[in-house]
Chain A
Amino acid sequence: MKILVAVKRVVDHNVRIRVRLDGSGVETTGVRMSMNPFCKHAVEAAVQLAESGQAREIVVVSIGPRPANDVILTALAMGAHRGILLETDAPLETLAIAKLLAKLVEEEHPDLVLLGKQAVDDDSNHVGQMLAALTDRPQATFASQIERVGAALEVTREVDYGRETLSLPLPAVVTADLRLNTPRNATLPMVMKARSKPLVVRSAADFGVDLAPRLQIENISPPPERVAGRSVASLAEFAAAIAAEVNEMEAL
């Protein structure tokens, strides 16, 4: 089985972001960037499939500016075999990303495409589903378990009512949730080794995909602030406050 994993470089999830005062966006200059956490789980899943002899090659792709090479290197250090950067400095919408990935699927013919279920910057949760549609493949989003059963995958998904298990014929698209696995930390020797793995850079503009945004972002603003509350000294006071809230609800 050949696996294509798509990874995104985002503001590190531990960074407390700052919204620019002019409403133009979130400050990203001078901010620590790293691989989107969900993408890490996707890479780890691919590497585990390779380690258990169920995948032969893992190709990792990222779409973004030149420094996105860093997250490809992280994936190569974790165990992916080769990398592709589709370089663009423009922020692309998820639909354009999915179209670029679909072009790559046409070239690479992976049996499985693994992605993170969402990116922690735009929180869109679109790309895997879109890619599945564009390549006419079945999808399993929010995966917490992936098992290969003959020519099919059995994927357990985290859904609002609990979990459900789907059977998907290959080729298919799967998006990773956080409980899928525990991503390994790349050790220094792994990182050194990754530098000698093939990594090609191609221009996103060369794929014949219309990359122009469809939506017009007008403004990015901070959320309303909550007013700070207070601590109470006694349990009786706390309980009385809860009871008062409940009474108010019942009165309405």
Chain B
Amino acid sequence: MSVLLLADHDRGELAPATARLVAAAGGLGPVDLLVVADDPAPIAAAAATLAGVRKVLAVQGPTTAEALANTLERCAKGYQSVSASASSTGKDVIPRLAAKLDIMPVTDIVAIAGPNRFVRPIYAGNALETLTDPQPLHLLTFRASAFRPVAGGNAAPIESLDFSIASAAKLLAAHRTQTDTPDLATAQIVIGGGVSVGSAEGFQLIEKLGKTLGAAVGATRAAVDAGYAPNDWQIGQTGKIIAPDLYIAIGISGALQHLAGIQGARKIFAINTDPEAPLVKLADLALIGDLFEIVPQLIAELDRLSLASRTG
């Protein structure tokens, strides 16, 4: 089964999660990556290095859902699957394309159980659905965090396609969060802050701990709703899904909808005043106490430890 996979990108760079998606799609058959962007060349060049990519298709054009669905439709001929990341782009595009092609899509796939058998979470990850897709064309989205990335070192051929794609919807403005922390979806360590962090300044403390560990920073919906953290930091059922080696949850109760986003974490550590908080109960390791006392001391202690290990 050959797969056409839509590549995500931002600010002219290929999304770091793409290596994981190539791994996921590669479980079905040979993978061709499609890059649609104002300036697709540098993104396509990066995509061509991913191991297992057969070729890269580069199209210059707009990236609204309509435009991407139309572009994918034009390129879909000959493929048995058209796939994307379960990112905000993939979620926007794949169902639209599916309805155009009269196909029922399978989305948020976390495991491939056979050539057309897939596993996807439902009910905020509190149940897993295993299903067979007998349709002739499979329209899929994969959760990047559930798959191990492929290596680099490839030099797949790049084909530029030229056609004009219309879109009634127009992008007026992009509002980006200014941050130099690593990508949440692929980070090895993530620090999460809850509403009890109390303010945007409080989140600077969380970010400082993040810097100490080279970690990405996330937040609960309650913290985002309160305006303490930007919306793209939200982890959970309606936010980002993370799968780091270590998640440190600070002042987070552990609501079902938050847990939905962290089930893939290998280790979970928690800091909370409440020993009965669901997240504390679930954590591999918990420290009970006030985050405002603990976090500054923790930063100092970690600085000391890494200094010690460097000199020692």
Contacts and interface: CB of A to CB of B under 8 A. Distances in A.
Nearest to B265: A226
Nearest to A155: B169
Interface in B10-34: 10
Contacts of B104: 93-95, 213-215
Interface string A92-109: 011100100000000000
A161 B280 contact: no
B95 A126 contact: yes
A226 B95 contact: no
Nearest to A178: B238
A161 B95 contact: no
B200 interface: no
B148 interface: no
A21 interface: no
Given A121-B122, A123-B237, A166-B171, A216 B131 contact: yes
A216 B161 CA distance: 37
B193 interface: no
Interface in B244-273: 245-246, 248, 256-257, 263, 267-269, 271
Nearest to A166: B169
B96 A235 contact: no
A139 B170 CA distance: 10
B177 A161 contact: yes
A245 interface: yes
A122 B175 contact: no
Interface stretch (B47-55, B74-82, B149-157, B224-232): B224-232
A215 B99 contact: no
B190 to A, nearest CB: 12
Interface residues of A, number: 82
Interface residues of B, number: 95
Contact of B257 (A13, A125, A139): A13
Interface string B177-190: 10000000100110
A129 B98 CA distance: 9
Contacts of B160: none
Contact of A122 (B8, B64, B122, B238): B122
A162 B271 CA distance: 27
B240 A160 contact: yes
Contacts of A162: 174-177, 230-232
A117 B256 CA distance: 19
B301 A239 contact: yes
Nearest to A247: B309
B298 A239 contact: yes
B294 to A, nearest CB: 6
B167 to A, nearest CB: 7
Interface stretch (A47-55, A69-77, A217-225): A217-225
A121 B294 CA distance: 38
A245 B10 contact: no
Contacts of A230: 284-286
B132 interface: yes
B136 to A, nearest CB: 11
Contacts of A229: 268, 282-286
B204 interface: no
A127 B100 CA distance: 13
B128 A223 contact: yes
Contacts of B185: 160
B91 interface: yes
Interface in A143-175: 144, 154, 156-169, 172
B130 interface: yes
B18 to A, nearest CB: 13
Interface string B213-236: 100000001001100001110000
Nearest to B97: A133
B168 A232 contact: no
A179 interface: yes
Contacts of B231: 144, 158, 162-163, 179
23 contacts: A26-B122, A94-B104, A123-B122, A126-B95, A126-B107, A130-B96, A130-B98, A139-B169, A160-B8, A160-B10, A160-B88, A167-B169, A177-B238, A216-B133, A221-B130, A223-B263, A235-B294, A236-B301, A238-B269, A240-B305, A243-B302, A245-B246, A249-B188
Interface of A: 11, 13, 16-17, 19, 26, 93-95, 98, 117-118, 120-127, 129-134, 137-142, 144, 154, 156-169, 172, 177-179, 213-223, 226, 228-232, 235-236, 238-243, 245-249
Given A142-B88, A161-B10, A222-B126, 8 more contacts: A125-B107, A131-B99, A216-B132, A218-B132, A220-B129, A223-B125, A228-B282, A245-B245
Interface of B: 8, 10, 64-66, 69, 87-89, 91-100, 102-108, 117, 121-135, 167-177, 185, 188-189, 213, 221, 224-225, 230-232, 237-238, 240, 245-246, 248, 256-257, 263, 267-269, 271, 275, 280-289, 294, 297-298, 301-302, 305-306, 309
